[in-house]
Structure 1
């Protein structure tokens, strides 16, 4: 198909009906079988759009007007929703968001995993799907000589200046604004990523919802921070809840937020928070779920699917700072956790100590190497829990799971596509997918987490 044969051309104005949503939340319309992806639209709507770009098999368009609305459309409450890349589906009411996420899981499991006739339950949502994020990481920049801080515009590195975000905990917003004012007061230059100059790159704020403890992390290009003591004093005065002020140094030309070196400027190295009855120490670079309310929902479901009676040995692959491990340790005889990041394992061991849980051990290393070694040493778990990154489980780990023949596998997933791929492998290796529970960890965004229970076929 050459460009002349396409049913639409760039800059065409078209009227179309939206048929579906992509996993990124964009509407899908078809003209003579040719797919157009149109953000901020909803299935069932008739809309007018302008074609922005055409490829051989599909194109992209921009919504101009909605000619026929559907009931699930709402006015996005955020004033910068259409510019900011943080949320994608604020224009859907919450019930429709939950349906979209369940459908995403169902469709991907069927299409990529060939998994049908398995219960996929309605998505577990929040009573209040706003102001849930306990961590804010904000780039700093300059515009017209003024210091700005906010989020990146969609598909760009242009900062959208903002004074509050309606999915962030209020304490985070207050902290970011205070630091913006303090940095401006002492004329701290923001980092310029093109020229690799300036001092302040990002500010990261972490808040313990149950404890009220607040951590401020100043990410700088070098060790030098002008007016350091004045800045520390002003942060303490402006933010009475602050218990930790940290500097992280990132001198690399990169869009990765953190560098390798972290210095404690004032207060404690950790802040604390609770998920259920388990207390967690959270350092500047710890991975800790950003939605503590839904994290408890997610982990309680994982615990339910593990179906522990008290005599089991459990392996927790990709254990992070021990969040799921410690939940499981409340009901299991023994829990073994493995994680590739040494600092995370250090935090996990600390978290086990502060919760007086002595039936859990942690190891540093790649799950796909450590778990086979455990197996060679005679470890035979009844339950295996995996909570991998978006890329899913390593092939060798899946092979080991199949070889170990654990009675139950609990798969906590943040990516339905890699979940479907991995479930297909496990099913071919002798497991049966029993049930899937989507959980809405990130309201207003397209992301969906899920917990899947598998059992060994008899």
Structure 2
């Protein structure tokens, strides 16, 4: 079927209309003329699949990542950055109208200074192919595992270290998690701040060898290693935490703010944007003697 995409959805999909129902179509951009198939009817809306671009939007760009569709981690990789910001601004305006009955002016978006190579953290499950470990992502709404050769949104040091860690793991012939034996490696969790890296290996019920830990500690920037033992099937990534080596906490300085993070601590995934966020909040705050910061991760 042929249609014109009318607007954005909140997850970056395009929305068209068919027989009075909205059709959510991944990777479609407003104002594009497309051909699509209907994948499912969800009652009040349809889910469509883009089959051909008839008229392409000027907002579309060639996506840098070769697996961006399969991975699903970057829903707007095919959209130019200024258009991404416009999309988010439009969604915010619609949300304020719908839920707060507010239709006034909103302040301009503070744009990401680095739209690529900014992400300071990753949580990636392990897969195994021809006896070698790799990390990747599950395709959205499926159990199909997509191998990740390189991620373009990870910080450069984080991504470099991820690849080096995998190389060392394979040199030690380590295996992915076996649910029957309750042993093996489940997830690789890494955080990078100020060129310092913390690594958490989520494993089954086993000890990590001293030789393997020693090799990982030789990597540039690695300052902290933890193990998390998890044999349950719950969706929570972590199990019982064991401190292995180095610095127990990650310490980072954001202008005049000093922070300390444990492996389970939540922190903004974009360090530079978190500075912008804190400065905006600081500017908006009343100059009172007592301030309570609640429901905000580690607190800053």
TM-score, normalized by the shorter chain, greater than 0.5: yes
C-alpha distance in 2, partners of 1:56/1:312? 53
Q: 1:319 to 1:123 in 2, by over 3 A?
A: closer
The equivalences for 1:106-121 within 5 A come to 106-117=93-104, 119-121=105-107
Q: Please, which of 228, 232, 249 is the counterpart of residue 252 of structure 1? A: 232
Alpha-carbon displacement from aligned partner over 1:290-337 (angstroms, at most 9, x marks no partner): 1110001111111111142xx4322211143221xxxxxxxxxxxxxx
The equivalences for 1:41-440 within 5 A come to 41-117=28-104, 119-192=105-178, 195=180, 197-209=182-194, 212-225=195-208, 228-237=209-218, 239-259=219-239, 261-308=240-287, 311-323=288-300
C-alpha distance in 2, partners of 1:159/1:273? 34
1:156, CA displacement in angstroms? Answer: 2.4
Q: 1:121 to 1:196 in 2, by over 3 A?
A: farther
Q: Contact between 1:247 and 1:264, CA under 8 Å: does it hold in 2? A: yes
1:208, CA displacement in angstroms? Answer: 1.0
1:187, CA displacement in angstroms? Answer: 2.0
1:240, CA displacement in angstroms? Answer: 2.1
| Alignment RMSD (CA, Å) | 1.6
C-alpha distance in 2, partners of 1:297/1:22? 26
Q: Which moved more, 1:297-306 or 1:55-64?
A: 55-64
SS at match of 1:52: strand
1:124, CA displacement in angstroms? Answer: 1.1
Q: Contact between 1:53 and 1:59, CA under 8 Å: does it hold in 2? A: yes
C-alpha distance in 2, partners of 1:172/1:53? 39
The answer on 1:26 being equivalent to 2:13 is yes
1:224, CA displacement in angstroms? Answer: 2.6
- State how many pairs are aligned: 300
C-alpha distance in 2, partners of 1:135/1:82? 21
SS at match of 1:304: helix
C-alpha distance in 2, partners of 1:301/1:159? 39
C-alpha distance in 1, partners of 2:128/2:233? 18
Alpha-carbon displacement from aligned partner over 1:79-127 (angstroms, at most 9, x marks no partner): 111100211011111101111111111101101221222x212211123
C-alpha distance in 1, partners of 2:276/2:143? 34
Structure 1 gap ranges (5+): 1-13, 324-458
Structure 2 gap ranges (5+): none
C-alpha distance in 2, partners of 1:126/1:163? 25
C-alpha distance in 1, partners of 2:44/2:241? 48
Q: 1:176 to 1:81 in 2, by over 3 A?
A: same
SS at match of 2:22: strand
> Which stretches of structure 1, 4 residues or more, deviate above 6 A after TM superposition?
none
SS at match of 2:211: helix
Q: Contact between 1:141 and 1:192, CA under 8 Å: does it hold in 2? A: no
Q: 1:55 to 1:276 in 2, by over 3 A?
A: same
C-alpha distance in 2, partners of 1:316/1:149? 36
Q: 1:314 to 1:20 in 2, by over 3 A?
A: same
Q: Contact between 1:98 and 1:122, CA under 8 Å: does it hold in 2? A: no
Q: Which moved more, 1:246-255 or 1:290-299?
A: 246-255
Q: Contact between 1:102 and 1:121, CA under 8 Å: does it hold in 2? A: no
SS at match of 1:289: coil
C-alpha distance in 2, partners of 1:159/1:136? 16
C-alpha distance in 1, partners of 2:114/2:291? 34
Radius of gyration: which is bigger?
1
C-alpha distance in 2, partners of 1:278/1:185? 40
